[in-house]
Structure 1
Amino acid sequence: MNKEILTELAFFGNCVLWGIYLLVFYDVFRIIRRIFPRGAILVGIEDLLYWTVSSVLIFRMMYQQNNGIIRGFAILGMFLGMLLYHNLISDPLVELIAGFLNKIKGGILSVIRLILKPFLFLGRGLGHGFHGVFKLFKKILLNIRKLLKKHNKSSKITLSDKEKGG
């Protein structure tokens, strides 16, 4: 075979691999999103970051391997790699890895809950104790206020009382 044709075939194969690499890189984001769910704004920012980094990497690859010339068959090769990876491997792989990591996450959270359980129990007990003390102080303050009101009413001296006593 002609050397130029072999070079072009190698470049096409490399583009197919780049398509696979790009979707593997995106699957990392998909797995992280399944383990740690996030809102639409953060997903949008992640996607923007992904496409920015991907476009820089694609441009770098094209510049190094094809003198910066964008060819239709190079884009077709990347698309073909993405299509093959997505249809054959991507979804089952993401489900498998995310499920496995979610189980690990659940186990870690269970251990953390188990470790924190005595502290939570103690905190609840103290909380109930403080609540009881607070209610007691509130009762005492209300009783003191009632006594002061009663004392103020009985100790008020009116002018007529002064005149009688004085």
Structure 2
Amino acid sequence: MLGVMGAAALGATGAVTGCSWWDEPEPPPPDPLEPFLAQTRSLAARYDDAIAVHPELAELLSPIQQAHREHEGALLTLIGRPELATPPPGATPEHPGAAESASPGSESPAADPAPADPDTTRELLRDAEVDGQAEAVAACLTGTPERAALLGSIAAARATHAAVLA
């Protein structure tokens, strides 16, 4: 009987304090690279759209699009949050956090559909690469030394992509 009363008192203490062994752990705070991850996904989605609208550009654009997908995978590994690997239900590649409340600045602006003119499409992708390179450099300079190698590599790749598209 004493054991039952002791267990009941322990349970009551847990209820009073609001603690429980079954409570879900607090989610980790957003990683500073999550907005950059969203931008990387958005950039890859722009290539998906461009290739769909302009299959004649697939030979030029597919390797660049694949590089962005590889950068996405490397960023996911670096961030270390497997739940970010798949955007939540209802999200689009341009707004990977759209189905949930995202941290400030973590959403990418919606990518416009690829223009009908392939030269304009290349120009817009080149501009997006230049902007993406600047974002990669900024993330590299403000990030930790452990992250600098990957971010510097992504910045260099985006500069190369812009040159290829010129």
TM-score where L is the length of structure 2: 0.32
Larger radius of gyration: 1
TM-score where L is the length of structure 1: 0.32
Larger helix percent: 1
Which structure ranks higher in relative contact order (CA pairs < 8 Å, sequence separation ≥ 6)?
Answer: 1
